[in-house]
Structure 1
């Protein structure tokens, strides 16, 4: 074997050579302490099991003890209610607001919901990561292409190793100029791990920005019975097709609300919007345990360790893969 210090472009050039069997980053090896934590939502249970019993029951969640430490997750959405009591004990910060005529708060709730499955005290999958709000959508949950691109560019300007940054964005369907998929692909080339929702419309994800961006991790959703959720039977469906990278739970996922529901500010959410941040959290946990990884290597890890051939229904060319908390 050989070792060398190479930039990302050179790594990809070397990787494509016929005589190269494999190439990877040299890392220090740390002991991984494994914890089995009870009482988590069904989605955490599903991510921890190779087979699932077809119910929405809470139960044990198996994870290592890093849980995103030293990793930054940027949630590009309607903002985050960073004072939410459900984030107590987690490091959730405001980062930037790209939306004109809107304050820095999450006045809609979509962003707080997405951040809740990452950093929530009760159900967050990566509570030791630093979660940062980048507001790219209005109080009506409408996002403009120029605001999205500005948010991505803001993340790239932040200090730190891009290979330890994760962007989670649960907005889709963009068109026109500037091209969002192009901006997403540029961030990935710069070393940022970029996770997006595949969309909820039961259509081909390859026709949807930014699920069709080069190198992106596009996440579809499954329900508690290993099936593709479909409207009107469920609140949201899932897009399918070859541009879906992987699936994650997207029905009745417990998260946080900006409204006081049953005096708990918690509720259940549906759709690929809540599936994507779960995968972002798994990536952050992996980076926390192993150190910097390239987006290509992380995507390969997700695919290789995923639970295979469990999804029921017509996938339309999607890989039959459910994210696994490996």
Structure 2
């Protein structure tokens, strides 16, 4: 264990995952200084603006399966990467970030490209120095697909952890909450959801060196991905066991408006007093 750090006036999403209570009196983010160091996180999305100063040189563009532009022309992937691992807005502030582009500037892509990206990650991860482990964020909306689900299982069996808003049982599936601990109107629900995380008005990195507020299950998912990287940096645990660990650490029954047959688990990083 390292020492603990506290980020004052943190974005509400970060504050919520390290405090037992919500609200303006609980706006600090407390985290272990290891902060995901030694981990690698792949972002399967629109790319990452890798030279954004918030990434401190820890982000790189590794592959493109959708077009010839090795950059993020949309902002979606950069926002997600920021929530995972940027200096100010990130859960795991020392993880390495790898962009695998499968969506274009209109967030459109082909299932074949997504599959190729997922397969690539397994192969590429074997070449990287990630002594603490590997996490994959997939905030991509695709129709239920046996091929996608099979690729997700392949990633998990390779001992990388995949976090997604989708429905593959071996992935960690995420729902979204608002600042008042209610389920976001757009959020997933039902038996496939493993945990909930902040997903409304999430402030994070944006293209052209900017920052932006965004809402969506896509914004909740990287909180869990970042937490997975953070925990890998702290604990000797298999990536395939992370989702169960995260669920076991979560606050129970604090959220309102949760439908039947849906878990009431709000993620925590273990630092709440």
Q: TM-score, normalised by structure 1?
A: 0.77
Q: Which residue of 1 aligns with 2:148?
A: 180
8 A Cα contact 2:249 2:268, kept in partner: yes
Please give the secondary structure, in 1, of the residue aligned with 2:98. strand
Pairwise CA RMSD of aligned residues? 1.9
8 A Cα contact 2:38 2:132, kept in partner: no
Residue among 28, 33, 56 paired with 1:60: 28
Greater RCO between the two (CA within 8 Å, min separation 6)?
2
8 A Cα contact 1:163 1:295, kept in partner: no
Is residue 2:171 matched to residue 1:229?
no
8 A Cα contact 2:14 2:90, kept in partner: no
Deviations 1:128-166 (A, max 9, x none): 110000001112101211111111111111225797110
Q: Which residue of 2 aligns with 1:139?
A: 105
Q: Which residue of 1 aligns with 2:224?
A: 279
8 A Cα contact 1:174 1:180, kept in partner: no
Gaps of 5+ in 2: none
8 A Cα contact 1:41 1:58, kept in partner: no
Please give the secondary structure, in 1, of the residue aligned with 2:89. coil
Distance in 2, Cα, partners of 1:286 & 1:48: 13
Trace 1:141-290 onto structure 2 (pairs within 5 A): 141-158=107-124, 159-160=127-128, 164-175=133-144, 179-197=147-165, 211-230=166-185, 237-259=186-208, 265-290=210-235
8 A Cα contact 2:135 2:239, kept in partner: no
Distance in 2, Cα, partners of 1:58 & 1:169: 30
Gaps of 5+ in 1: 1-30, 198-210, 231-236
What's the CA shift for 1:90? 4.5
Distance in 2, Cα, partners of 1:163 & 1:90: 19
8 A Cα contact 2:252 2:265, kept in partner: yes
Q: Which runs of 4+ in 1 moved over 3 A?
A: 160-163
- CA gap of 1:184–1:174, structure 2 versus 1, over 3 A, is same
Deviations 1:248-281 (A, max 9, x none): 000111111215xxxx711111011011111111
What's the CA shift for 1:295? 3.3
Deviations 1:140-198 (A, max 9, x none): 1012111111111111112257971100010123256x72111111211221100012x
8 A Cα contact 1:195 1:219, kept in partner: yes
Larger radius of gyration: 1
